Structure 1
Amino acid sequence: MTPILNQIGTVFIPVSNIEKARDWYCDILGLPVDREILYGHLYVVPMNGTGIVLDSKIYSEDNIFRTPAFHLNTNNIEEAYEFMKSKNVNLTTQIEHNQWFNFKDPDGNQLMVCKC
């Protein structure tokens, strides 16, 4: 028996500007910007399931995600793609296999949206 659970608690995303990152992530996820920035460098994005913590203290050009470390779910991949396009998000792939696409956040972190 191990005391380590087979669960992911949260994913830390390195960001250069905590306020701008908070606003961008809340915008694309349709969330209100109503939580406090902690310790001047952390923002806990209110997620269902595994959490996301934006952290400006760990940011460096060498520390950004060059491949997606996780994906965000969608029920409609085409609608999600068009939504991100309308937000002028940097889309780095088309919809692949009618299942997923990749994009970059404003700091250059490579992320993914996948049909669940």
Structure 2
Amino acid sequence: MIDRVDTLCMIVSNVERAARWYEQTLGFTVVFTGEGYRVLQVGEGSVPITIEEGDVISNTNHTYPIFFSKDSKKLHDQLESSGVSVSDLHNDGVNQFFNFYDPDGNKLQVCYFE
């Protein structure tokens, strides 16, 4: 019935501005442009992120993507130094992780585990 997760969609207030932020700040690549939305390739992953222009009602998501990075500390420091809102770096004994937020307040997370 369901074969795979096709994409994860997030609402942004301005799709052009958001696409530039995701490209410049996170290194994502726009792989498809549609009216009011962009599909972004995330590294070598198989599930893209779709950003869709709409009314941003809340500055927090209940659902959010968790990205994997082999050097989460370096990424944390790079995002923080470029002015991105980031949480402290946490370690729960298994995972090292932190939260950060796009310009519309969408919550994103980065993790690392061996």
- TM bucket normalised to smaller: 0.7 to 0.9
Q: Which residue of 1 aligns with 2:9?
A: 12
Question: Which residue among 25, 47, 58 is the counterpart of 1:50?
Answer: 47
The one-letter code matched in structure 1 to 2:39 is V
Structure 1 contact 67–111 (Cα < 8 Å) conserved:
no
Q: Which residue is 2:66 aligned to?
A: 71
Q: Give the TM-score taking structure 2 as reference length.
A: 0.82
Gapped regions of structure 1 (runs ≥ 5): none
The equivalent of 2:99 in structure 1 is 102
Instruction: Write out per-residue CA displacement over residues 54-106 of structure 1, whole angstroms, 9 at most, x where no aligned residue.
Output: 0003x3314x5434522111001110111111221011x20110610001110
Please give the root-mean-square deviation of Cα atoms over the aligned residues, in Å: 2.0
Question: Is 1:90 matched up with 2:88?
Answer: no
Q: Percent identity?
A: 27
**What's the secondary structure of 2:50's corresponding residue?**
strand
Cα pair distance change 1:44/1:32, threshold 3 Å? closer
Aligned residues: 108
TM-score, reference length from structure 1: 0.81
Q: Check conservation: 1:75, 1:115, Cα contact below 8 A.
A: yes
Change (3 A) 1:12 1:27: same
* Cα-to-partner distance string for 1:13-49 (whole Å, 9 max, x where unaligned): 100001110000011222456x56311x100112322
